[in-house]
Chains A and B, each alone.
Chain A
Amino acid sequence: MSSSVFRMRSRMLRDHLFRALPALIAAFSLLFAWEIYCRSSGISETTLPAPSQVLFQAWLHREALWLNTVPTLRATLLGFSLSLVLAFVLSIVIDFSALMRQALFPIFIASQTLPLVAIAPLVVLWFGFGLLPKILLVALVTFFPMLVALAEGYASTEREVEDLLASMGASRWKRFRLARLPSALPYFFAGLRISITYAVVAAIFAEYAGAARGLGIYMLNAKNNFRPDLVLAAVLVSSLLTLLLFSATWAVQRLAAPWIDSSSGRGR
C-alpha cells in the first residue's frame, strides 16, 4: 500500500521533471552560448561578464546579497498584503454598489496609467527612504490586477446558482458569500500569479529610486562601481525570489481551493 503510494509519487515527480526538461535544456543552451561568447570574443568583464563569473561573484558576495534581499522581500510581502486587503474590500464595495463602481473604477484605471519611473522618486521624496514608500509602490502596482481579477470572478458566477440561492430565500450577502466569493477563487489565484511577478519588480524599482538597503539599491551601487557581474548576481536573486513566490501561489491554491481544476491551464 505505502510502497504503491511511493511509486505513484516518484512517477509524478518523474513526470514533472520530464515536462520541465525542454525548458531546462533551452535555458542551459542559452547560458552555454553566452559563456562561449564571453570566453572566445575577449570581451571585457566589466562590459559583459560570463555566467560562470556571475555565479562565482554571487557566491563570494552571498552575505551582502542576502542582507539586501531581506528588505526587498519584506517590502514585497507587506506591499502585496496591503494591496490584497484593499482589493478585497473595494471589490466587495463595487460588487454591492453600482454607484460606487461608477465612481471608483475610473480612478483605479487612472492609477494604472501612472508611469512608475516618474512616480517612484516622488513617492520616495514624500515618504522618505524607509519601508513605507516601497510598500505603497508595490501596492499601487499590484492593486489593480487583483481588483479586476476579483470583480471578474464575481461576475463569472453562474446565473443558475444565484437563482437557486434566491429561490431558497438567501439574502444578497448570503448569495455573495455562498456563490459569488467562491466563484471568484480561480480568478483570484490567476490574478495572484500575475501580480506577484509585478510585486518584486515594483519593490526593486522603489529601492532604485532611493533606499538604505535592498536589491534595487544594491544593483544601482554595483552599476555605479562598474560591476555588471554583481548587477546580474542581484538580478539572479530577484528572479529566484519571484519564481519562489510564484510557486508559493500554487501551493496556497492547492491547499485553499483543491477543487480548482488547474490541469487545463498548464498545457495538459
Chain B
Amino acid sequence: MTVPLLSLDGVSLNFGEIDVLRDVTLDVMPGEFVSILGPSGAGKSTIFKLLTGAATACGGEVRFSGRPLASNERPFAFMPQRDALMPWRRILDNTTLGLEVQGVPRKEARKRVEPLFEEFGLSGFERHYPRALSGGMRQRAALLRTIVQDRPVLLLDEPFGALDALTRNQMQIWLEAMWLKHRWTIILITHDVREAVMLSDRIHLLSPRPASVEQTITVPLPRPRFSNPATRAEAAAIETSILDFLLSPQIQK
C-alpha cells in the first residue's frame, strides 16, 4: 500500500473558548483529488489555515509523506476563496507572485509562467489589470498563480463559490480536464455537494463545529465525468445520498 502524501491524525484546534476542530483524521494520496465537504462555518477553511501555518493545532499530528510536517515546511500552494488578485499588478505579475516571494528573479519567473497562459485561457491578457477580467478569468489567473509555485499539494478554498452558476459549471469542467492532464494532488474545500461529487476521487464529510470527519466517501465514477450523461445520473444519486446524510438529525444535532 502506498503511503498517503498528506495525513491528518486526530488534529484538534481551538480559538480561545471555541472548539473548531475536534479529532480530525483524514488522508490524501499522491495525485488524488480530494474534497472536504461540510456546512458553512464548520471549520473547513481552518484546516487550510493549519496547513499554511496561519493557525496552530493544539493536538494531533500532520504528516507529509509519512514524516511529521515541520513548521517551516511549505509543501502547499494555497488558493483563497476570493481570487485575491492584486489590483495594482498586471495579470502576468499577479501569476508570478509566489515565485517572486520564493526569490525567483522576475525575468525567470515570467519565463516560467508565460507559456501557461494559453492553457489557462488567458493569452492576450498578460498586460491587463485584474479589473479588466471576467470572474471566470480572474479565477483561472488565481489558479495559475497557485500551480506555478510548483508545490506538491494544491489547496483550493471554495474557488468557484463567488461565480455565477453557468461560469461555475464551465470552470468545473475546465478544472477536471486540467487535472486529468496534470494529475496534481488537490484538496478542494466546498459546500457544493455536486461540485464535490463531480470532481473528487474521495470526499471527506465534516460535521458542524467542532468539526470532525463524519464519513469518507469514495466516488467510483469514470472520468471525464461531465461529458457522459450516464455518469452524471450516477453522480446525482451519490449527491442525494450525501445530502441525506448531511441533513440527517444526528448530524444536525
Interface residues, chain A, with chain B CB atoms under 8 Å away: 158, 160-161, 163-170, 174, 178-179, 182, 185, 257, 259, 261
On chain B, the residues within 8 Å of A158 by CB distance are 84
Chain B 180-215 interface residues, beta-carbon cutoff 8 Å to A: none
**14 extra A-B contacts, CB within 8 A, seeds A163-B49, A163-B54, A164-B84:** A158-B84, A160-B81, A160-B84, A163-B52, A164-B97, A167-B54, A167-B76, A167-B77, A167-B78, A168-B149, A178-B86, A178-B97, A259-B88, A259-B129
Q: Of the candidates B80, B98, B129, which one forms a contact with A160 in the assembled complex, judged by CB atoms under 8 Å apart?
A: B80
On chain A, the residues within 8 Å of B67 by CB distance are none
Look across to chain A and name the residue whose beta carbon is closest to the beta carbon of B82: A160
What 10 A-B pairs are tightest by C-beta distance, nearest first?
A167-B52, A167-B78, A160-B84, A168-B101, A160-B80, A182-B88, A170-B101, A164-B84, A259-B88, A259-B129
**Contact-residue bracket for chain B:** 20 to 34
Determine whether B102 belongs to the interface, using a CB cutoff of 8 Å to chain A.
Answer: yes
Q: Is the interface of A mostly helix, strand, loop or mixed?
A: helix
On chain A, the residues within 8 Å of B87 by CB distance are 259
On chain B, the residues within 8 Å of A261 by CB distance are 131
Cβ-defined contact, A163 with B86, below 8 A: no
Q: From known contacts A178-B101, A257-B88, infer whether A164 and B82 are also in contact, taking CB-CB under 8 Å.
A: no
Q: Tell me the bound Cα distance from A170 to B103 in angstroms.
A: 10
Task: Report the minimum CB–CB distance from B6 to chain A (whole Å).
Answer: 15
Cβ-defined contact, A161 with B86, below 8 A: yes
Cβ-defined contact, B86 with A179, below 8 A: yes
Q: Tell me the bound Cα distance from A55 to B28 in angstroms.
A: 81
Q: From known contacts A168-B149, A169-B101, infer whether A163 and B88 are also in contact, taking CB-CB under 8 Å.
A: no
Contact with A along B118-136 (1 / 0, CB 8 A): 0000000000010100000
Cβ-defined contact, B102 with A163, below 8 A: no
Of A168, A169, A179, most B-chain CB atoms within 10 Å: A168
Task: Report the minimum CB–CB distance from B139 to chain A (whole Å).
Answer: 13
Determine whether B223 belongs to the interface, using a CB cutoff of 8 Å to chain A.
Answer: no
On chain B, the residues within 8 Å of A168 by CB distance are 74, 78, 97-98, 101-102, 149
On chain B, the residues within 8 Å of A257 by CB distance are 88
Determine whether B60 belongs to the interface, using a CB cutoff of 8 Å to chain A.
Answer: no
Task: Report the minimum CB–CB distance from B19 to chain A (whole Å).
Answer: 22
Task: Report the minimum CB–CB distance from B159 to chain A (whole Å).
Answer: 12
On chain B, the residues within 8 Å of A178 by CB distance are 86, 97, 100-101
On chain B, the residues within 8 Å of A165 by CB distance are 97, 101
Q: From known contacts A179-B86, A259-B88, infer whether A164 and B80 are also in contact, taking CB-CB under 8 Å.
A: yes
Task: Report the minimum CB–CB distance from B238 to chain A (whole Å).
Answer: 31
Cβ-defined contact, A169 with B80, below 8 A: no
On chain A, the residues within 8 Å of B78 by CB distance are 163-164, 167-168
Cβ-defined contact, B80 with A163, below 8 A: yes
Cβ-defined contact, A167 with B97, below 8 A: no
Cβ-defined contact, B74 with A169, below 8 A: yes
Task: Report the minimum CB–CB distance from B84 to chain A (whole Å).
Answer: 4
